[in-house]
């Protein structure tokens, strides 16, 4: 089946899905995006994703291109047209098309909207989680507002590529103080030797992950102790467990960081329990 | 006359000039660009621009899409097809089209190449230089490798927009130590009360401007004293002159910074002399 994309009001075969070369997303990374999980053809956490999209757009003063309800309809239509049961839907909004000039176009132009969807292999994702992944640390050299989910992802691209070339699967960014900020496309978590779950507070140095927010409730429901505070790379090396979270991966156990084994080198019980609970939450809808 | 763009091997009317929605330039800002000045239909500093393009591509490990000689032919063809006498040519190269995944596509895909050109109003540019511009300072919150001329320009967009909303024309970035790094799309210079021309060294915190490099020779030929060192915003406020340089603007005098008058509030003699000399250099070819 050929894939279908939504591009500025039209549903197009993927092959012919194009945007103008003077789209500000292409010339300036002047746009934002969301990736939502799809289960049983249903969007997980639609409300939270659209609220975050709205926040990102507001931070950049890009107009919300249509009502959030209408955006939801488009997302579901793209999911349906691509017959995605389990997978992800990708939504990108840019400031629109205008002759190249750094300043915002005046008068304002219509934002560009692109939506795609694709199936993921659930069995493969579960197998990956059951095995756990290796991560490497890289210096966090990104801009100061990564809380805005912008398409300016070049540092993330380079970090992820560095990880892969070192035989790892993800990269964790480390700031000037030696603290882990987040992964290249995940939020970063550890479980301390005392059993406390730790993740960095949502400042301007990390993205407010939707899975991260949902996990807070799951952690409380599990009766686990949670600390929202910066943690160092050294602390992560010595952690009992480590894991990453993202809409497309849920809770993904980390079994080594920079070649150092975390805990006993197997996915930890806390991470796996949280993953199971997240599955339950998502399926309960 | 309708404008013509070069897109991946074809010369297209601007209206129909499109790239795929999964171009990595659109989803990740995974690409680089150059802007060259055009005079009498001729490229200024072609060799230096293509050398810098090559360096940017090498830093990101994007393949050079064709020989630099062939790229030069495309640039000149776009200039000719758009009948640009005085103006700019814009060249963008991205890592190409691939299903969205942060890591580099494997196997490698062909890079995307886009070239556009447009005329500028020389009389208007000269009038602007003769009047001088106001700039405002903004905190430099960009990523750590702005020496790579990437299309990830969102912080520059926001800085330039902030300037315009404050009635200024450009923004100067200031780092954590209070030193000016560069403008939103210009290199930043001052002339000290003692008459020394000062600009920041080309580290990872600024772009190695072509006009900046050329100006070094011009400054020496003029017998002026040059210091390549960081300067603070306070030093800029107290400077005798200030100016910005860029391929599209050459030497543009700055007459106020954050509302404080620089020198006597008129374009300074050093800046104007350097501008005249740069014109002579460019016209001599």
Among A74, A97, A120, give the residue marking a domain's end.
A120
Q: Which among B25, B141, B152 has the least Cβ separation from residue A144? A: B141
Query: Which residues of A fall within a CB distance of 8 Å from B60?
Result: 154, 158
Residue A109 lies in a domain: yes
Residue A53 lies in a domain: yes
Residue B116 lies in a domain: yes
Tell me the C-alpha distance between B244 and B256, whole Å.
12
- What CATH code is carried by the domain that includes residue B266? 3.20.10.10
Instruction: Give the single-character DSSP code of B14.
Output: G
Q: Do A21 and B26 touch (CB under 8 A)?
A: no
Q: How far is B275 from chain A (nearest CA, A)?
A: 23
Statement to judge: residues A83 and A200 lie in one domain: no
- Looking at the 3D structure of chain A, how many domains does it have? 2
List the end-to-end C-alpha distance of chain B, in Å, as a whole number.
28
Cis peptide before A267 (omega within 30 of 0): no
Tell me the C-alpha distance between B204 and A260, whole Å.
31
Exposure string for A220-242, b = 16+ CB within 10 A, e = fewer = eeeeeeeeeebbebebbbebbbb
B13 CB-contact burial (10 Å; exposed 0-12 / middle 13-18 / buried 19+): exposed
Q: Do B102 and A157 touch (CB under 8 A)?
A: yes
Chain CA centroid to CA B207, Å? 8
- Give the contacts of B285 (CB within 8 A, at least 6 positions apart): B42, B44
For residues B146 and B205, the answer to whether their CB atoms sit within 8 Å is: yes
Task: With residue B95 as reference, give the H or E element that holds it.
Answer: none
Q: How far is B36 from chain A (nearest CA, A)?
A: 14
For residues B194 and B141, the answer to whether their CB atoms sit within 8 Å is: no
Residue in B28, B46, B27, B26 with CA at minimum distance from that of residue B36: B46
Statement to judge: residues B171 and B39 lie in one domain: no
User: What is the helix, strand, coil percentage profile of chain A, to 5?
Assistant: 30, 30, 35
pLDDT tens figures, A201-235: 999 999 999 999 999 999 999 999 999 999 999 99
Residue B285 lies in a domain: no
Q: Do B21 and A17 touch (CB under 8 A)?
A: yes
Statement to judge: residues A184 and A53 lie in one domain: no
Statement to judge: residues A104 and A243 lie in one domain: no
Band (A245; pLDDT cuts 50, 70, 90)? very high
Q: Which among A104, A114, A185 has the least Cβ separation from residue B102? A: A185
Statement to judge: residues A142 and A191 lie in one domain: yes
Catalytic positions of B are 149
What chain B residue is nearest to A96 in terms of C-alpha separation?
B26
What chain B residue is nearest to A185 in terms of C-alpha separation?
B102
Residue B130 lies in a domain: yes
Statement to judge: residues B96 and B166 lie in one domain: no
Gyration radius of chain A over CA positions? 19
Statement to judge: residues A106 and A129 lie in one domain: no
| pLDDT at res. A282 | 84
Statement to judge: residues B39 and B92 lie in one domain: yes
Q: Which among B102, B143, B156 has the least Cβ separation from residue A102? A: B156
What chain A residue is nearest to B185 in terms of C-alpha separation?
A102
Statement to judge: residues A204 and A178 lie in one domain: yes
How does pLDDT run along chain B (285 residues), one tens digit per residue?
569 999 999 999 999 999 999 999 999 999 999 999 999 999 999 999 999 999 999 999 999 999 999 999 999 999 999 999 999 999 999 999 999 999 999 999 999 999 999 999 999 999 999 999 999 999 999 999 999 999 999 999 999 999 999 999 999 999 999 999 999 999 999 999 999 999 999 999 999 999 999 999 999 999 999 999 999 999 999 999 999 999 888 999 999 999 999 999 999 999 999 999 999 888 886
| pLDDT at res. B282 | 84
- Residue A285: pLDDT over 70: no
Q: Around Cβ B70, how many Cβ atoms within 10 Å? A: 11
Among A61, A96, A120, give the residue marking a domain's end.
A120
Q: How far is A18 from chain B (nearest CA, A)?
A: 4
> Which of A88, A102, A246 has the highest number of chain B CBs within 10 A, making it the mutation to test binding with B?
A102
| pLDDT at res. A104 | 98
Domain residue limits at A244: 125-280
Statement to judge: residues A168 and A273 lie in one domain: yes
Q: Which residue in A149, A176, A220, A266 is the catalytic one? A: A149
- What CATH code is carried by the domain that includes residue B34? 3.30.470.10
Cis peptide before B106 (omega within 30 of 0): no
Query: Which residues of A fall within a CB distance of 8 Å from B99?
Result: 118
Statement to judge: residues B79 and B220 lie in one domain: no
Is A81 labeled as catalytic in the residue annotation?
Answer: no
Tell me the C-alpha distance between A104 and A96, whole Å.
10
Q: Do B152 and A29 touch (CB under 8 A)?
A: yes
Q: Do B19 and A18 touch (CB under 8 A)?
A: yes
Task: With residue B140 as reference, give the H or E element that holds it.
Answer: none
Residue B111 lies in a domain: yes
Residue B137 lies in a domain: yes
pLDDT tens figures, A29-88: 999 999 999 999 999 999 999 999 999 999 999 999 999 999 999 999 999 999 999 999
Among B84, B105, B120, give the residue marking a domain's end.
B120
For residues A48 and A210, the answer to whether their CB atoms sit within 8 Å is: yes
Q: Do A154 and B28 touch (CB under 8 A)?
A: yes
| pLDDT at res. A127 | 96
Residue A253 lies in a domain: yes
For residues A28 and B153, the answer to whether their CB atoms sit within 8 Å is: yes
Q: Around Cβ B237, how many Cβ atoms within 10 Å? A: 16
Statement to judge: residues B66 and B113 lie in one domain: yes
What chain A residue is nearest to B15 in terms of C-alpha separation?
A20
Query: Which residues of A fall within a CB distance of 8 Å from B33?
Result: 27
- Residue A2: pLDDT over 90: no
Residue in A251, A233, A252, A242 with CA at minimum distance from that of residue A181: A233
């Amino acid at each position: 089946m050929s894939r279908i994309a939504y591009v500025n009001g039209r549903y197009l075969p993927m092959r012919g899905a194009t945007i103008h070369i003077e789209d500000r997303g292409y010339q300036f990374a002047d746009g934002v995006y969301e990736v939502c999980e799809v289960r049983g053809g249903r969007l997980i956490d639609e409300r939270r994703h659209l609220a975050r999209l709205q926040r990102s757009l507001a931070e950049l003063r890009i107009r919300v291109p249509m009502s959030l309800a209408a955006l939801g309809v488009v997302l579901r239509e793209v999911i349906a047209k691509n017959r995605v049961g389990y997978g992800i839907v990708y939504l990108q909004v840019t400031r629109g098309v205008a002759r190249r000039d750094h300043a915002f176009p005046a008068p304002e132009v219509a934002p560009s909207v692109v939506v795609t969807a694709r199936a993921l292999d659930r069995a493969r994702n579960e197998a990956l989680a059951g095995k756990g992944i290796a991560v490497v640390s890289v210096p966090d050299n990104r801009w100061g507002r990564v809380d805005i989910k912008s398409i300016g992802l070049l540092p993330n691209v380079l970090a992820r590529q560095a990880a892969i070339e070192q035989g790892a699967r993800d990269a964790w960014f480390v700031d000037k103080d030696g603290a882990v900020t987040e992964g290249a496309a995940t939020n970063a978590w550890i479980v301390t030797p005392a059993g406390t779950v730790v993740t960095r507070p949502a400042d301007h140095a990390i993205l407010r992950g939707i899975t991260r927010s949902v996990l807070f409730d799951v952690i409380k429901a599990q009766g686990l102790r949670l600390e929202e505070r910066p943690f160092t790379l050294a602390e992560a090396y010595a952690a009992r467990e480590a894991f990453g979270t993202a809409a497309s991966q849920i809770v993904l156990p980390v079994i080594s960081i920079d070649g150092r084994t975390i805990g006993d080198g197997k996915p930890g019980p806390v991470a796996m329990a949280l993953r199971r609970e997240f599955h339950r939450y998502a399926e309960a809808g």
